[in-house]
Amino acid sequence: MNEKKLVNIGVIGFGTVGAGTLKVLWERKPEIERELGVSIQVKRVVDKDWTRERNMVLPPEMKGNDPLEVIADPEIEIVVEAIGGISPAFEIVTQALQHGKSVVTPNKELIAKKGRELLEIAGEIKTDLFFEGAVGGGIPIIHALKEQLVGDEIEEVIGIVNGTTNFILSEMSLHKSSYHDALAEAQKRGYAEPVPTMDVEAFDAAYKIAILASLCFHTRVDVEKVFREGITRLIPEDIDFANELGFAVKLLAISKKIDGQLELRVHPVLLPIEHPLATVNGVENAIYIKSKTRALTFRGPGAGGEATGSALVGDIIEAIRNIQFQCKGRVGCTCTCELEVRPIAELVTRYCVRVLALDVPGVLGKIATQFGEADVSLQAVKQPVSTPGRLTNIYFLTHDVVEEKLWNSLERIKKLEVVQDVYAIRVEQGS
């Protein structure tokens, strides 16, 4: 028998995902080697700071400090970028590709902002750039979209793609916690950062929907054009009202192709409880894809070192197969068009509107009149039992209306003397 081919791998960045990837790779090494008929070796792991405490011990000769030790090593065929962010990840991935390496990265910000450029470089060099871990952590959605579903006429993609916010909303729903208490619980459990802005203001989800939309609709997407609204203004009463009407409240990343334009938005949503995404709770992620011929839901862990590490190992396996079969670049960029993004003001949907107003005689009539004058018609209203003269939240559910008209109605309502605050949540129709 021939000696088995040896594939050398270099890892840049030894944080949660880098370490998770190595752990999964080492634990499954014999099986993967048997499956592929190759030998796998992690030749070098680069990190800028080896003094941080870690659960995993690496042999000293494996450790490095300079990404060039990986990028410029002619023996290394596969580079795992696991440092995150744009700089220096962009330079590192660019150079690795230019050196002909197959690159595996879970870096959502990098792919959302620089994916086009990097895939073009990979295409020119005829090498692979894989990023299965960039959306939905351990959920194998990216390859599915680039391969099995690439022929589908996809109409919409809707995702719960941020575990932190899904956990917070689940807590608020289950335990009637306030947003701040639920956030504190998420931080206690390590699900939320001390500064949670990236998650709760939906930057993270915006990167991910940019990537998903790009794959689903074969279009370049400018991440800056994603409409983005976080979850910080939600209160438990909102969720109660939603539940009463048969909705769950979720932070959804949504993209739909409508009349040749692209909807591209992340915001809290009232979602019918029968929707496959409505029962996805806690830190779990899920992605729902509706094409002309099939509606699919992919559900699983959205984060975690070993779950995301498994996605990276899946990419490494793909990269090895392509090296073995000399077909690097077999699946490259799948974008063939450039769709326009539809402004959020043109969205047509139902809205749940919460109005904080003084409980005085005639208050409901005054608010309802403003809706009517702005040409917004109402489907349901809930005014809870409250104390006369005190502030109370009144809830309205509108019929379908274009968002611009809804805004007009809210502007009018805000001007009423009895009204102190107004907040609107979009409704998703369900499948």
Residues in contact with a second copy by the rule CB under 8 A = 24-25, 27-28, 31-32, 34-35, 132, 138-140, 143-144, 147-153, 218, 276, 279, 291-301, 304, 306-307, 309-311, 313-315, 317-318, 321-322, 325-327, 329-331, 334, 336
CB of 152 to a second copy, least distance (A): 6
Q: Report the SS3 class of residue 425.
A: strand
> By C-beta, is 328 or 412 nearer to a second copy?
328
Shortest spacing between CB 386 and a second copy, in angstroms: 35
Tracing tokens 């326009």 back to the chain, one arrives at 340
∠ at Cα 181 (172, 428), nearest 5°?
A: 30
Shortest reach from residue 199's CB to a second copy, in Å? 21
CA distance 338 to 288: 23
User: CB of 125 within 8 A of CB of 97?
Assistant: yes
The residue among 149 and 198 lying less far from a second copy, judged by its C-beta, is 149
Catalytic option among 101, 114, 208, 290: 208
Q: Which of 419, 430, 427 is nearest to 277 (CA)?
A: 430
Residue closer to a second copy, measured from CB, 47 or 128: 128
- Nearer residue to a second copy within complex by CB, 59 or 325: 325
In the complex with a second copy, the residue whose CB is nearer, 25 or 226, is 25
Q: Half-sphere exposure of 339 toward its Cβ, with a 13 Å CA cutoff?
A: 23
* Spatial CB neighbours of 144, under 8 Å, sequence gap ≥ 6: 298
Inter-helix orientation angle 305-324/16-27, to 10°: 60
CB of 295 to a second copy, least distance (A): 6
Work out how close the CB of 183 gets to a second copy at its nearest, in angstroms, rounded to a whole number: 24
Residue type, 32: I
Residue with tokens 């793909």: 318
Minimum CB distance to a second copy, residue 293 (Å): 4
Tell me whether residue 208 is one of the annotated catalytic residues: yes
Residue 397 corresponds to which tokens in the numbers above?
A: 């559910």
Handedness of CA 8, 9, 12, 15 (dihedral sign): negative
Task: Tell me how many degrees the CA angle 177-301-27 measures, rounded to the nearest 5.
Answer: 135
Residue 245 Cα distances to 48, 174, 270, 395, angstroms: 52, 16, 10, 11
- Is the backbone of residue 260 left (phi > 0), alpha (psi -120 to 50) or beta? left
Closer of 64 and 301 to a second copy (Cβ): 301
Q: Which stretch of DSSP H or E encloses residue 22?
A: helix 16-27
How near is the Cβ of 296 to a second copy at its closest, in Å?
Answer: 4
Length, in residues, of the chain = 431
Q: For residues 16 and 21, what is the distance between their CA atoms, to the nearest angstrom?
A: 9
Residue among 15 and 304 whose Cβ is closer to a second copy: 304
Which positions are catalytic?
A: 208
